[in-house]
Amino acid sequence: MQNLFDLSGKTAIVTGGSRGLGKAIAKGLHEAGVEVVIMGTNNRVLDTANELFENGAPVYGVIADFSNLKSVEKAFESAISKLGTVDILVNNAGMQIRHPAAEFPIEDWEKVLNVNLSAAFVMAQLAGRAMLEARSGKIINIASLLSFSGGLTVPAYAASKGGIAQLTKALANEWAKDGINVNAIAPGYMDTDNIAALKKDEVRNRQLLERIPMGRYGKPEDIVGTVIYLASEASQYVNGTIVTVDGGWMAR
């Protein structure tokens, strides 16, 4: 049974890995014996890599501008130069910008779509080429509850996360036969910087917690087990699915 979840000796790239969910994911993979590259937008990713690499497999930091697809390509090349190959890709990098839909600047729309969707596709495409050659690999995209619902004042984010869900299915349709598993995780309301403003709104905070059957926000660590499962041999026949990790939110 332990062999089903054994990731020792594997290599992984985690985008958006300097804090929040990405940092927890990178830490979990590293503790499972995976050699990890974490990508982030500034020097903090280098500090996080040094923090995580206390013992065991190496952790490397690579700076990438996810709004610039050429930068994404260069960051991937840098990651491969450190790892040699990639067995696991976690597309976690993302951003949020809020405006009423009627007033949403097209520049902000394009930035959110580039960071949340286009950069994820480029990373999956580049990793997919290596995985196709090896005839094995695990791609895990981080979706959202807004992959299923529309939200308010976040049309670009909702569109990008709906796109992530469909991209996950499209890639699985093409690559499943070649030994590549492509799945997504849709986190619920996780206690990270993304919901700081919501927590300060007394009414909204109460409404959210009342909707979550478990009665609490998720912690970054709550997502790690699902990542390990989807990255391991235990999920070999799981493909093209979006797993909710939401404390029961979608059940309501």
What are the catalytic residues?
157
Instruction: Give the residue among 187, 204, 183, 94 at the shortest CA–CA distance from 147.
Output: 187
- Entry field: residues in the chain: 252
Query: Helices H, strands E: what count in the chain?
Result: 9, 7
Strands 242-245 and 137-142: unpaired
Q: How far apart are CA 229 and CA 183, in angstroms?
A: 11
Order of strands, sheet of 242-245, starting from the edge strand that comes earlier in the sequence: 59-63, 35-40, 11-15, 88-91, 137-142, 180-187, 242-245
